[in-house]
Amino acid sequence: MKKILILALALFIALSAQAAEKGKTVKYKSGKDDVSGYLAMPEKKGTYPAVIMVHEWNGLNDWVKAQADDLASKGYVVLAVDLYRGKVGKTKEEAQALMQGLSKDRAAEDLKASYAYIETLDETKGQKVGSIGWCMGGGYALATAQILSEKLSACVVCYGFVTTDKKELAPVKAKVLGIFGGKDTGIPVDKTVKPFEAALKENGNKDVEIKVYPNSGHAFMNATNGMNTYNEADAKDAWAKTIAFFGKNLAK
Amino acid sequence: MPQAAALQPAHPQSTVQSKQIFLQSEGDSVAAYLAMPVESRAAAGETRVGDAAIIVVHSRWGLDKWTKRRCDSLAAAGFTALAPDLYRSEVTEDFMTAHELERAVPQNRVRQDLVAAALYLRSNGAKKTGIVGWSMGGTFALRMASETKAIDACATNYGALITTEAALKNITVPVLGNYAAQDFGIDSADVATFRNTLKTLGKTADVKIYPNLAHAFASPESEAYSDREAKDAWQRTIFFFRRYLRP
């Protein structure tokens, strides 16, 4: 009896999880390889600006899909890429191994491929494209802006590692919003965030917006980050800023 | 094949001298651990490194004792070994602290530091310079082989792969790879493709995939540690450098 109850419960959870997902898994080519992503769109038919979304060190998990769904509900076609190609880290050890093992040049190819896929969609015809990512994905959201250069219109980096090298940042033509935690020891405000902002501005990317939340640490936007660093008020504010930023730079 | 133990004297310290030096890396002064065979001991205060030198790149824990012992072991085998402190004196055994340090280290600064290490060795007498690293350090070592002309041979232990042909074509030096079939983050099929692509491109490469092992199997602190294969991988590394760095 107990077993049946557990089974029923598991089935219920599985079904309700599925119901919560609004998007779908899509497949496309990256070079010769088959890759996949999670595609979420507004319910109403039409054309919408697109956003390439990059996951944290854990991979393309339910939290990332929920962000994609939410952003889609605001009027965007969102493609959440899967740089780990099917693997998801369920513990921090697994996440670490995945992040450590990720081939940087293959990830760059996959990001290019995600843009090419978006370009094939009727729903994004003639529309602008942006990128967003958190933690490891924040670094890759910036990489997307470096790789795609003027093809990308807006880039949101949520506490991702950012280079401070002017030359490396030169291809970035997108408007940039950087969201950081003042207590994030991995991305020191003075050593990394400020020189990053200065380098972009010196490159002529004058509209860069940087928001540092002084009381928050790393990964503060994710309630499921497993590090006890979630800050609800700051998370809500940062997400509202993100939506407003995309509204200003992609939707118009 | 001789046993790995034969390569390491019972008391490596007796045949090895080591000290801390400072490298100039684009305006930064970077501490580095230098280990040399006793026979290359120079006059007081002077450093004269041997013909064959190796840059040792620490993993995400920082320039720890284990990394320094790797340097000593290379010195005992006749090489000059230099391990720059990419973290600027931070060392940890804590998982999340290491994660923070790894995230914080600027990739462009790492490349500058490693190029500075190569320049130091060359300007002090090295004729050929190799590079070796584990995990994060293995990733950096392999990138140095693809992105710079600063080194002459590259050994990577379960470092992130380079996968595109364009980047692999840039590698002009011999590559040794030690990988684990059960590495959660590096698919063994991808390692096999890496090996095959290097071969197709005509590169000198010896990439071994150790069956049944996981990431960090050569690190005694790791749960994945396996003594026999760790010794085998180290023996392969020393033979590789003997072959490609010695005149």
Using the beta-carbon criterion (under 8 Å), do A103 and B190 form an inter-chain contact?
Answer: yes
pLDDT of residue B2 exceeding 90, the answer is no
pLDDT digits (tens, 9 = 90+) for A98-113: 999 999 999 999 999 9
Q: Is residue B1 part of a domain?
A: no
Query: Is the four-CA dihedral A236, A238, A239, A245 of positive or negative sign?
Result: positive
- Domain holding A70, by residue range, is 24-249
Interval B41-68 mean pLDDT: 82
Query: Which of B59, B99, B134 to substitute to test the interface with A, most A CBs within 10 Å?
Result: B99
Domains identified in chain B, total number: 1
What value does the mean pLDDT take over residues A227-251?
96
Q: What is the predicted pLDDT for the residue at B44?
A: 43
CA distance A198 to A215: 23
Residue A87 within any structural domain of the chain = yes
Q: How far is CA B86 from the centre of its chain?
A: 13
Model confidence band, residue B104 (pLDDT cutoffs 50, 70, 90): confident
Residue B117's closest CA among B205, B173, B177, B49? B49
User: Comparing A182-196, B29-43, B64-78, which segment has the lowest mean pLDDT?
Assistant: B29-43
Question: What is the spatial distance between Cα B247 and Cα A224, in angstroms, rounded to a whole number?
Answer: 56
CB nearest to A98's CB, from B106, B139, B184: B184
Residues of chain B whose beta carbon is less than 8 angstroms from a beta carbon of chain A are: 60, 95-96, 99-101, 103-104, 106-108, 135-136, 139, 143, 158, 160-164, 166-167, 183-186, 190, 215
C-alpha closest to that of B33 among B63, B4, B77, B3: B63
Q: CA A76 to CA B85: how far, in whole Å?
A: 45
Asked, for residue B3, whether it belongs to a domain, the answer is no
Let me know if residue A11 belongs to a domain: no
Provide the shortest C-alpha distance from residue B61 to chain A (in Å). 13
DSSP string for residues in B108-133: HHHHHHHHHHHHHHHHTT-SEEEEEE
Per-residue pLDDT tens over the stretch B183-223: 999 999 999 999 999 999 999 999 999 999 999 999 999 99
pLDDT above 80 for A237? yes
In a domain? residue A12: no
Say yes or no for a CB contact (<8 Å) between B185 and A101.
Answer: yes
Q: How far is A43 from chain B (nearest CA, A)?
A: 36
Would you call B215 and A101 a contact, using CB atoms and an 8 Å cutoff?
yes
Q: For residue A32, count CB atoms less than 10 angstroms from its CB and return exposed for 0-12, middle for 13-18, buried for 19 or more.
A: exposed
Q: What is the pLDDT of residue B50?
A: 81
What CATH number does residue A168 fall under? 3.40.50.1820
Number of domains in chain A: 1
B104 interaction partners in chain A (CB closer than 8 Å): 161, 185-188, 192
Cα atoms found within 13 Å of the Cα of residue A158, Cβ hemisphere only: 31
pLDDT tens profile B143-194: 999 999 999 999 999 999 999 999 999 999 999 999 999 999 999 999 999 9
Q: Which helix (H) or strand (E) is B143 found in, with range?
A: helix B136-147
* Terminal CA-CA length for chain B: 22
Give the 3-state secondary structure of residue A186: coil
The rounded distance, in Å, linking the Cα atoms of B156 and B133 is: 5
Q: Which domain holds residue B172?
A: 8-245
- Chain A to chain B Cβ contacts (< 8 Å): 79
B146: region left, alpha or beta (phi > 0 left; psi from -120 to 50 alpha): alpha
Contacts of B144 in chain A (CB under 8 A): none
Question: CA dihedral defined by A34, A35, A36, A41, rounded to 10 degrees?
Answer: -100
Q: pLDDT confidence of A2, banded at 50, 70, 90? A: low
- Interface mutation target, options A100, A106, A134, A218, chain B, most CBs of B under 10 Å: A100
Of B106, B162, B164, the CB nearest to A163: B106
* CA A135 – CA A180 distance, rounded (Å): 10
- Contact (CB<8Å) B183/A101: yes
- Per CB-CB distance under 8 Å, the chain A contacts of B181 are none
Do the domain assignments include residue A198? Answer: yes
pLDDT for residue A22: 86
Nearest Cα to A39, choosing from A13, A86, A72? A72
Asked whether residue B2 is domain-assigned, the answer is no
pLDDT, mean of residues A86-105: 96
Q: What is the CATH number of the domain that holds B238?
A: 3.40.50.1820
Interface test with chain B among A57, A83, A105, by most B beta carbons within 10 Å: A105
Structural domain contains residue A68: yes
